[in-house]
Structure 1
Amino acid sequence: MIQVNLEEISFQIILHGGNARNLAMEAIHHAKNGEFTLAEQKIEEAHEEMREAHRFQTELIQGEARGEKVEIRILLVHAQDHLMNAMTVIDLAQEMIGIYKKIL
């Protein structure tokens, strides 16, 4: 079993994934108002948050690759849900920014 604080890592993934999702939503709102520079800035900030979330996720993946077992807990599953949701919202936000650029 990996001797890391799985709870702490899970919360970090949730934190950074949630921040990324919120920044992507802010980007959509800025694009809707024609504020494309701000929208792109928020997308970049969202990507920064995703890099942080992935850094914590990578700790677990590398440990498992070394043969260390990870106890799968509901909190970790929830963290992964947050991460995947953030990725989806960022992708959607980038598409919506492009659409708003065409129509505004």
Structure 2
Amino acid sequence: MEDEKQLQAVMGLIMNGGNAKGSAFAAIKAAKKGDFEEAQAKLKESDQFLSEAHNAQTGMLTQEAQGDHQTVTLLMVHAQDHIMNAITFRDLAGEMVDLYKKLAE
């Protein structure tokens, strides 16, 4: 049962990371078209996905800190990679939206 809980948590990280990156990319596309309201909405959506991922990640870290050690699998490493890339992409997307906004002014 613990393996099933861990698998669900890991898959949640992957899904939320992918969704966060997708929303951030949609923000860049919207800004490129000059739709800054949509761009901001997509950045906010990306932040919500990252918040969900962060909460799941924090739960896993808390369990580890309490001595409930989990087996590190390739899938878990992949999930962490998704989150790190999504965070980086979200930060870059915010900068790109700002740049497109300045160019439009």
How would you bin the TM-score normalised by the shorter chain?
Answer: over 0.9
Runs of 5+ unmatched residues, structure 2:
none
Q: Percentage identity across aligned positions? A: 41
TM-score (norm 2): 0.93
Aligned to 1:63: 63
**CA RMSD after TM alignment:** 0.9
Amino acid at match of 1:60: M
CA distance in 1, matches of 2:36, 2:84: 25
CA distance in 2, matches of 1:76, 1:54: 14
Runs of 4 or more consecutive aligned structure 1 residues displaced over 2 Å after TM superposition:
none
Aligned to 1:45: 45
Superposition deviation, residue 46 in structure 1:
0.4
Superposition deviation, residue 8 in structure 1:
1.1
Amino acid at match of 1:9: A
- Look up the SS of the partner of 1:25 in the other structure: helix
Q: Deviations over 1:70-95 (max 9, x none)?
A: 11000000000100110011000000
Superposition deviation, residue 7 in structure 1:
1.2
Spell out the pairing of 1:27-46 with structure 2 (5 A cutoff).
Answer: 27-46=27-46
Count residues with an aligned counterpart: 102
